[in-house]
């Protein structure tokens, strides 16, 4: 009986060790347009023997832009009929995220520095129906996207050149449409260890803030 329990314990320890030393591939897809706001995540281990996927419907904070109110089109100029609220909201979200990351810079980087990003694609489509405002919006989107890529390359191990495609519509009104695809690889044990260190660092920081 003791021998059987010993063998079972050894087998369990071996399985746990194999799991912790394994590599996981994480695929993340994010999509947002006027009607949809969703994300999906897929985790694959042991060359597909273990799979996990989850789709999430995200709350839409931007709803319909003012350009699609019930007011008639002839009552508004092209600049007014399609506002840039969605672009401004995206830029504000980016600034908020940057502020939060900076607050826990060292703790966050302990985890993210263990993660390798092997594929990153960002596609955006936008148009106001007027050339000058569309050009301004496109420049803003490139600026926001460039800053985001800079943050990612600083905190993660970026193993490739990101593919960015921002398509302006100069003569057609088109709400902002965004699609992001990302594939990352990580070692379970290293990431878990880094996560524990991050949790300890965050707890210390929280305790110091409340003193």
Mean pLDDT of the chain: 76
| Residue 100 main-chain phi, psi, to 5 deg | -65, -40
d(CA 21, CA 27): 20
Tens-place pLDDT, residues 177-195: 899 999 999 888 777 776 6
* pLDDT at 165 > cutoff 50: yes
Global pTM value: 0.65
* pLDDT at 82 > cutoff 50: no
d(CA 22, CA 11): 16
Three-state SS letters, the chain: CHHHHHHHHHHHHHHHHHHHHCEEEEEEEEEECCCCEEEEEEEEEHHHCEEEEEEEECCCCCCCCHHHCCCCHHHCCHHHHCCCHHHHHHHHHHHHHHHHHHHCHHHHHHHHCCCEEEEEEEEEEEEECCHHHHHHHHHHHHHHHHHHHHHHHHHCEECCCCEEEEEECCCCEEEEEEEEEEEEEEEHHHHHHHHHHHHHHHHHHHHHHCC
Cβ–Cβ under 8 Å, residues 182 and 93:
no
* pLDDT at 112 > cutoff 60: yes
Between 58 and 121, name the one with better pLDDT.
121
Cβ–Cβ under 8 Å, residues 142 and 104:
no
Across residues 113-140, what is the average pLDDT? 89
Tokens representing 172 are: 């057609």
Strand partners, 18: none
Question: What does the pLDDT read at residue 3?
Answer: 77
Cβ–Cβ under 8 Å, residues 86 and 65:
yes
Question: What does the pLDDT read at residue 74?
Answer: 41
| Residue 160 main-chain phi, psi, to 5 deg | -150, 170
Question: What does the pLDDT read at residue 62?
Answer: 45
* pLDDT at 118 > cutoff 90: yes
Tokens representing 87 are: 């672009």
Between 110 and 162, name the one with better pLDDT.
162
Question: What does the pLDDT read at residue 95?
Answer: 61
Question: What does the pLDDT read at residue 63?
Answer: 43
d(CA 88, CA 39): 21
Question: What does the pLDDT read at residue 194?
Answer: 67
Tens-place pLDDT, residues 48-77: 788 888 888 777 654 444 443 444 344 444
């Amino acid at each position: 009986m003791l021998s059987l329990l010993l063998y079972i314990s050894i087998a369990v320890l071996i399985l746990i060790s194999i799991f912790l030393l394994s590599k996981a591939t994480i695929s993340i897809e994010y999509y947002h347009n006027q009607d949809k706001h969703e994300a999906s995540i897929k985790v694959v281990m042991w060359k597909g023997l273990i799979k996990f996927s989850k789709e999430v419907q995200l709350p839409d904070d931007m709803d319909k832009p003012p350009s699609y109110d019930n007011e008639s089109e002839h009552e508004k100029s092209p600049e007014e009929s399609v506002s840039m609220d969605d672009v401004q909201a995206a830029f504000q979200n980016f600034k908020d995220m940057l502020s939060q990351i900076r607050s826990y810079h060292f703790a966050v980087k302990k985890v993210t520095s263990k993660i390798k990003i092997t594929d990153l694609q960002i596609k955006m489509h936008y148009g106001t129906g007027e050339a000058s405002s569309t050009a301004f919006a496109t420049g803003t989107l490139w600026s926001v996207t460039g800053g985001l890529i800079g943050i990612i390359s600083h905190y993660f191990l970026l193993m490739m050149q990101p593919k960015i495609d921002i398509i302006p519509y100069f003569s057609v009104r088109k709400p902002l449409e965004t699609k992001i695809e990302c594939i990352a690889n990580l070692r379970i044990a290293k990431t878990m260890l880094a996560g524990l260190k991050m949790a300890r660092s965050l707890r210390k920081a929280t305790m110091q803030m409340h003193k």
